[in-house]
Structure 1
Amino acid sequence: MTENSDVPEGGGETPKGGFVSAIKCMISFFTIIRLDVGQKEFDAMERNFWAAPVIGFLNGLVAAVVCLLLVEVDASPFLQGVAALVTVFVFSKFLHFDGLTDFGDGMIVSSGRREDHVRALKDSLIGAGGFGVALTVVLISVACYTDIATYWGSVMAAVFAVEVLAKNAQVAAAAFGEPGSGMASRQVGMTGKGSLAKSSVLSVILLAVICLIHHGICGLMGYALKDDVMILCMVLGLLMSVAVGWYMARTANRVFGFVNGDILGAANEISRAVMLIMAVIVLGLCI
């Protein structure tokens, strides 16, 4: 019997779900969509966290559709940028954004003692550090989306791809992080370098699908095709998603002693901003 196969009824072992069960749980846990999930699905999610880019694909798809509709009504680049970010925030229940504010509070502690950093990280109140870090990330993201919409006419492809890669950054943070004692401890503990390799391969496949979708839409609507620039941004984005995830884990291991759900959420938000900055630089050089 394989690791992911279900145990027949009457067995003494808890059934273990596979890839489909993991995706089902991730959809219910990381998005506003509610599904009927139980321990089997949670166990599958913890063991198959490498599948997280699929959720990024779903999140990005919703945001891309919203942005495409805005293009059709001649919305301004700024409005497209705001809509792209707000859509992914709402669809993900502000879950990762909450992790970003907690991470900001935990990092901005003057004492330098680990226990104080951990206390601030886990405090439910938002302090100046959390507000400041979150505001900085949001402003950077909106500004970059606005620039991309100005260059390209739409942020559809950008938001689609970035959400996939932001989830890859989460997997990287889990792969290089030390598990703590919180809700995501098993998720971090069961995600290793092999999981990161799987996640990166999955991300490449999903990015290829995004390229095909974007190419088809541009062909149907008569938009200018800039596939070479988009592919370059995606390749660099994949590398940066791993780098940001690694750096977030390294920082969290040093400051807090572990990587928890808040750190994974912060990795999602910060990696998005970093990749968008990179995309704006590439567009500025190539277009």
Structure 2
Amino acid sequence: MVLSAVRGALGFLSRLPIGHSEAAWDAFAATPAAFPLAGYVVGALVAVPFLAVGLVPAPVVAAAYLAGVVVVTGVNHADGLADLGDAAVVHGDPAERREAMRDTTVGVGAVLALGTALVGLALGALAVAGLPTLAAVAIVVAAEVGAKLSMATLACLGSPSHEGFGETVLSDKRPRDVLASVAAALPAAALVVPAATVAVAAGPVVALLLERWADRRLDGVGGDVFGAANELSRVVALHAAVVAWTLFDWELVDWGVLAWTRW
């Protein structure tokens, strides 16, 4: 069941050629913990460019990371962020905002949301590329797991705004179901304490803030909110992890184990 759920999650969260069967989808929709579990796979793939930290210039690593995110995850979640950006600038009731999200025309809200997220992601990747190799890889993986944990948090705590993906994933979920998702994300949080811990924790924080906003502005959570949570959480996680790293002194020790000492 869990393996099938993870395959289904990868089929939805990435462009990998797996998890597209109906059985995998049903298992994924019923298992919120599959979100962060799939995040490990996605995170490991997009973190590959950071193995070259110190060998090539940091901007090159950051650019390769951005390309990797697009290649591995596609544009579905970015499209959700764009739709949410258009909804955010609408002066009207929730129904009018949801209508703006369905409009195929790209508005100024979408451009601003995507542009800000892209710049934020590029700057975050550039900052991470300035860290030691093992720390950089760990933080990128943790950020991806945290981004997926944000979606799991929405799946367990949100209420659907309308029929669609959100309703399918949100149905029959209870708030306590999020505990399994948190447990699945704990290994990523322990990779580099506290930087990776902060990266993972950023996901639920963003999800709770976004869920509160969506309840007021959209009457609940839909598929676009899930996509936006993923994109925004990734950006916040990278920056938060770098800030956490800079507040401590770190040194690499034998076998790649990272230890820190407070100044």
TM-score in terms of structure 2 length: 0.86
Q: Distance in 2 between matches of 1:256 and 1:241?
A: 21
Alignment length (residue pairs): 247
Q: Distance in 2 between matches of 1:40 and 1:167?
A: 21
The residue number in structure 1 matching 2:184 is 202
The residue number in structure 1 matching 2:163 is 181
Q: Distance in 2 between matches of 1:150 and 1:61?
A: 19
Q: What percentage of aligned pairs have identical amino acids?
A: 26
- Report the CA distance between 1:63 and its aligned residue: 1.5
TM-score in terms of structure 1 length: 0.80
Q: Distance in 1 between matches of 2:19 and 2:238?
A: 35
- Report the CA distance between 1:54 and its aligned residue: 1.6
The residue number in structure 2 matching 1:138 is 118
Q: Distance in 1 between matches of 2:222 and 2:211?
A: 10
Aligned with residue 96 of structure 1, among 65, 77, 83: 77
Distance 1:190 1:233, change over 3 A: farther
SS in 2 for 1:49: coil
Q: Give matches, 1:128-167, under 5 Å.
A: 128-152=108-132, 155-167=136-148
The residue number in structure 1 matching 2:24 is 41
Q: Distance in 2 between matches of 1:126 and 1:95?
A: 15
The residue number in structure 1 matching 2:44 is 61
Aligned with residue 33 of structure 2, among 43, 50, 62: 50
For residues 226-261 of structure 1, what are the alpha-carbon distances to aligned partners after superposition, in whole Å with 9 as ceiling and x for unaligned?
xxxx31022223332211111111111111112111
Q: Distance in 2 between matches of 1:86 and 1:195?
A: 34
Distance 1:24 1:31, change over 3 A: same
* Partner AA of 1:261 in structure 2: G
1:125 matches 2:108:
no
1:240 matches 2:202:
yes
SS in 1 for 2:194: helix
Q: Give matches, 1:242-261, under 5 Å.
A: 242-261=204-223
Distance 1:20 1:145, change over 3 A: same
- Report the CA distance between 1:206 and its aligned residue: 4.1
Unaligned residue ranges in structure 1 (runs of 5+)? 1-17, 212-229
Q: Distance in 1 between matches of 2:221 and 2:200?
A: 21
For residues 3-46 of structure 1, what are the alpha-carbon distances to aligned partners after superposition, in whole Å with 9 as ceiling and x for unaligned?
xxxxxxxxxxxxxxx22221122222222122364332222111
Distance 1:66 1:190, change over 3 A: farther
The residue number in structure 2 matching 1:215 is none
Aligned with residue 76 of structure 1, among 42, 50, 57: 57
Unaligned residue ranges in structure 2 (runs of 5+)? 250-263
Q: Distance in 2 between matches of 1:118 and 1:199?
A: 29
Distance 1:177 1:156, change over 3 A: same
**Over the residues paired in the alignment, what is the CA RMSD in angstroms?**
1.9
Distance 1:62 1:175, change over 3 A: same
SS in 2 for 1:282: helix
Larger Rg: 1
For residues 66-110 of structure 1, what are the alpha-carbon distances to aligned partners after superposition, in whole Å with 9 as ceiling and x for unaligned?
321x337x221122122223212221112211111111111111x
